[in-house]
A and B are shown apart, each in its own frame.
Chain A
Amino acid sequence: MELSKTVNQSNTIITEKKYSPLKEFWKNWKRQKTALWASFFILLLIIIAVVGPYIAPYDPYKPDYNSMLQGPGSKHFAGTDEYGRDIFSRLLVGSRISLSVSFLSVFLGAIVGTILGLISGYFGGWLDRFIMRSSDVMFAFPDLLLAIAIVAILGPGLNNVVIAVSIFSVPSFARLVRGATLEAKETVFVEAAKSMGASHFRIMFQHILPETLGSLIVFISMRIGTAILAASSLSFLGLGASPETPDWGAMLSLGRDYLGTSSHVVMMPGIAIFLTVLAFNVVGDGLRDVLDPKTKNE
């Protein structure tokens, strides 16, 4: 079928250009200059997370007692830590841990939260009250405290950090999706689907979920920043990665004792965390402008 103009029976000419949501997204995304740069930074981070171990100039685990606590210089780009390990190499290798912990925990939390939110908003009634009251209880704890409590029960370790961070993400996702579901439930096309005899499952996943996707994506990108911070904090408190792993939070924790004398040991992982969290937040803001029609300034 040619894509040039066609005249149909009702004698209409449709605009020749074919519409595609992805193209439309890219057109708007290109205009978000800051967010565009931030997304390039995140892309770079992801690449580093994949190839980090292969491009690291030094072995991140091997102590070198001849060059302990050296400041940034020509030999060690970001200096060395108390065991003489190259901080730059440790950051490169550690990016994989930080990113995978945060991605994994946010996605787990998002999946569980979204399903709970959909159920809660769609069915309403006692199910809704139960889910929402439970999440209220969780909201009553400060996020980190909750995570600490969970890790304290499960025991320290990166796996448990993932579980802890995802558990404390669940209520926020559930609440967000529930709100969007309540709104989408009232649309005429959902009513139309009901009148056709569509099942609850179909209505929830074919019609309502896509409506919530925009705000969901925005929230995920914001949440990843929070998750990196939370995971780092747990490691900093000694509840996450064991001290020898090059996790950014653990590195921060290790450098604590040398804050006065060799501040770079803390500064370097601190900057890495700061830039990454900032990048995710900026991308989230940009996505919100593009995807969330309510804040669109039209």
Chain B
Amino acid sequence: MEKLLQIEKLETEFTKDKQALKILHGVNFHINKGEVLGLVGESGSGKSLTSLSIMKLFKGTSGEISGGRIQFNDQDLTNISESDMRKIRGKQIAMIFQEPMTSLNPVMKIGEQLLEPIRLHLGLKEKQAKAHAVSILKKVGIPRAEEIINEFPHQLSGGMRQRIMIAMAISCNPQLLIADEPTTALDVTIQAQILDLMKQLQQKENMSVLLITHDLGVVAEMCDRVVVMYAGRVVEEADVFELFESPKHPYTKGLIGSVPKLGQKKEKLDSIKGNVPDPSNLPKGCKFAPRCNNVMPICYQEEPPDLKLENGRSCSCWLYKEERGDICV
């Protein structure tokens, strides 16, 4: 399979009070063409920051990529200029966010906002652009598309706004769509609509999708492969079926066990003890060690290496050191 995006040893940090606080500590993963990759993690795992790093969207923050590579097609996004990046954003890599209301301009008509990227990236004339916009709106299942382009965001419901965001994102046929918790703010029945729409569009356009979520249910429904993050690191990477069937990393196991599943007759849920660590105060060694059920002395000493396992899986845990000796660099 052909790789569309390859991230290697990505490090991103923020500066506060003249002190650098590293949030991403060497993130590695790739996305193949036409694939839906799930990026799973809890708050503070660095999953959203990973997506912002790919887009280099640090506006207004002190965020900065301090190491590693982001290979997109044949370009390394970490060292291209802002003006080149602007040509990629929206055109080749598009993004949708959790809260559509904050990413839509409240005083601009839907049509104007939708036309902006179309004019900018596709160079279409006013009339053609408008026709294109209407066709995209129809594609994302918006009724009365011709009227909606003259309305303002607050006149629409949350689900409709998210459809508009998706329309904006796919308007220039991007190769990669990054969706950061696209349905978290929506109700379940609306979430089902949006997930269904995203799946359809992805298959029709053969887009690659990076789906960032904390919801394992959404991952299981949507993704082909999954990357699990914890405390700014990738702890496990696997095919979606294998991940749910035989999770390797104790964190992944705990995560899957702690979600209540429909129809499961369990008195008590498994749970991961303790709390998500504070990025400015991470433990030594494996960052998950204080919460881990299988912890060994070495876990407190040294960070586990990224181990390549069978079927293209990988897992960063000392438990599998014996199983497979060669360390991936």
Residues of A within 8 A of B (CB): 10-13, 15
Interface of A is mostly: loop
Interface of B is mostly: loop
Contact residue among B273, B278, B281 (Cβ-Cβ distance under 8 Å from A10)? B273
Task: Tell whether, in the assembled complex, residue B275 and residue A12 are in contact, meaning their CB atoms are under 8 Å apart.
Answer: yes
B residues 241-292 in Cβ contact with A at 8 Å? 273-275, 278, 281, 290-291
A10 to B291 alpha-carbon distance, docked (Å) = 10
Other CB < 8 Å A-B pairs besides A11-B290, A15-B278, 7 of them?
Answer: A10-B273, A10-B274, A10-B275, A11-B273, A12-B275, A13-B290, A15-B281
The interface residues of chain B lying within 8 Å CB-to-CB of A13 are 290
Query: What's the nearest-Cβ distance from chain B to residue A298, in Å?
Result: 9
Query: What's the nearest-Cβ distance from chain A to residue B202, in Å?
Result: 38
The interface residues of chain B lying within 8 Å CB-to-CB of A11 are 273-274, 290-291
Give B277-312 as 1s and 0s: 1 = Cβ < 8 Å from A's Cβ atoms.
010010000000011000000000000000000000
Query: What's the nearest-Cβ distance from chain B to residue A285, in Å?
Result: 22
A11 to B290 alpha-carbon distance, docked (Å) = 8
A-B pairs with beta carbons under 8 Å apart, 12 shown: A10-B273, A10-B274, A10-B275, A11-B273, A11-B274, A11-B290, A11-B291, A12-B274, A12-B275, A13-B290, A15-B278, A15-B281
A15 to B280 alpha-carbon distance, docked (Å) = 11
Query: What's the nearest-Cβ distance from chain B to residue A39, in Å?
Result: 22
A10 to B275 alpha-carbon distance, docked (Å) = 8
A13 to B291 alpha-carbon distance, docked (Å) = 11
Query: What's the nearest-Cβ distance from chain A to residue B287, in Å?
Result: 13
The interface residues of chain A lying within 8 Å CB-to-CB of B273 are 10-11
Query: What's the nearest-Cβ distance from chain A to residue B35, in Å?
Result: 38
Q: Which residue of B lies closest to A9 (CB)?
A: B273
Give B132-145 as 1s and 0s: 1 = Cβ < 8 Å from A's Cβ atoms.
00000000000000
A251 to B285 alpha-carbon distance, docked (Å) = 72
Q: Which residue of B lies closest to A8 (CB)?
A: B274
Query: What's the nearest-Cβ distance from chain A to residue B271, in Å?
Result: 10
The interface residues of chain B lying within 8 Å CB-to-CB of A10 are 273-275
Q: Which residue of A lies closest to B274 (CB)?
A: A11
The interface residues of chain A lying within 8 Å CB-to-CB of B290 are 11, 13
Q: Which residue of A lies closest to B273 (CB)?
A: A11
A15 to B291 alpha-carbon distance, docked (Å) = 17
A120 to B275 alpha-carbon distance, docked (Å) = 43
A258 to B290 alpha-carbon distance, docked (Å) = 80
A296 to B318 alpha-carbon distance, docked (Å) = 44
A15 to B275 alpha-carbon distance, docked (Å) = 13
Query: What's the nearest-Cβ distance from chain B to residue A171, in Å?
Result: 35
A10 to B274 alpha-carbon distance, docked (Å) = 5
The interface residues of chain A lying within 8 Å CB-to-CB of B275 are 10, 12
The interface residues of chain A lying within 8 Å CB-to-CB of B278 are 15
The interface residues of chain A lying within 8 Å CB-to-CB of B281 are 15
Query: What's the nearest-Cβ distance from chain A to residue B181, in Å?
Result: 23
Query: What's the nearest-Cβ distance from chain A to residue B201, in Å?
Result: 38
List 5 tightest A-B contacts by C-beta distance, closest first: A11-B274, A11-B273, A12-B275, A12-B274, A15-B281
Query: What's the nearest-Cβ distance from chain A to residue B283, in Å?
Result: 9
A11 to B293 alpha-carbon distance, docked (Å) = 12
Q: Which residue of B lies closest to A16 (CB)?
A: B281
Query: What's the nearest-Cβ distance from chain A to residue B286, in Å?
Result: 15
A15 to B282 alpha-carbon distance, docked (Å) = 11
